[in-house]
Amino acid sequence: MAQRQKTRQQRDNLVWAAAKLFRRQGYSGTGLRDILAASGAARGSLYHYFPGGKEQIGAAAVNAAGGLVTETFVELARQADGPADFLHRYSDLLVRWLEASKFRDGCPITTTLLETTPESAAISAAGRAVFADWRGVMADMLRRDGWPASRVPATATAIIAGLEGALLMARVQGSARPIHDTAQALCDLLETNQSRQTRA
């Protein structure tokens, strides 16, 4: 039993080391060598847990990192007082993370996905699942806020897309402004529903 945990931990070490490196340097830019050094595991261990090699650990990294973001979304959606408040809280969080890493740590899955889609079916599938989860959290929140069902999916997608794009631009510019600007504009968008309800 103690062993089970220990091995599980080594596997996790591998995945999280990979996730961190992929996020900073990209998928192709990160060698197995780097991952092994960062996780303290040996070369063969990686192929024990991931017979599929780099592609499989890439998919696992997308799953793990994406899942962590999903958890953050869920928790924040629970705490927040509506979608606009959620956006403010999350964009603040994002900015803090970015600045703490000197704009090195962006979205933990986009870089890997852009490099490997659609060449790697496994990684693409992992990415699709993560995006679906994220949209799901947003959609739930919008519905709870009283949005008409017909507009929920598109708006949820747009919010994720906006955040994703803002994060990318913020990294390139080395500035938090794209995130603040985009969050502000998205909040304006969210108001449209408010005003429609008021008018109706």
Partner DNA sequence: CATGTATTATGACGACTGGTCTACATATTT
Partner DNA sequence: AAATATGTAGACCAGTCGTCATAATACATG
Residue 28 dihedral angles phi and psi, to the nearest 5°: -70, -30
Count, residues near DNA per rule CB under 7 A? 26
Quote the CA–CA distance of 10 and 7 in Å, as a whole number: 5
3 touching DNA, by CB under 7 A: yes
30 touching DNA, by CB under 7 A: yes
63 touching a second copy, by CB under 8 A: no
Q: What is the CA radius of gyration of the chain?
A: 19
User: What six digits make up the tokens of 78?
Assistant: 């629970």
Quote the CA–CA distance of 27 and 65 in Å, as a whole number: 14
41 touching DNA, by CB under 7 A: yes
Which does residue 7 bind out of DNA, a second copy, none, counting CB within 5 to 8 angstroms by kind? DNA
CB of 182 to DNA, least distance (A): 33
Which 134-173 positions form the footprint of a second copy (CB under 8 A)?
A: 151, 153-155, 157-166, 168-169, 171-173
Quote the CA–CA distance of 60 and 48 in Å, as a whole number: 14
First-to-last alpha carbon distance for the chain, in angstroms, is: 61
Taking a C-beta distance cutoff of 8 angstroms, is the pair 176, 99 a contact?
Answer: yes
Quote the CA–CA distance of 187 and 181 in Å, as a whole number: 10
6 touching DNA, by CB under 7 A: yes
User: What six digits make up the tokens of 90?
Assistant: 């999350």
Nearer to DNA, 41 or 65 (CB): 41
Which does residue 155 bind out of DNA, a second copy, none, counting CB within 5 to 8 angstroms by kind? a second copy
85 touching DNA, by CB under 7 A: no
* Binding footprint of a second copy on the chain (CB under 8 A): 25-29, 102-104, 106, 110-111, 113-115, 117-119, 124, 127-128, 131, 151, 153-155, 157-166, 168-169, 171-174, 177-178, 180-182, 184-186, 188-189, 191-192, 195
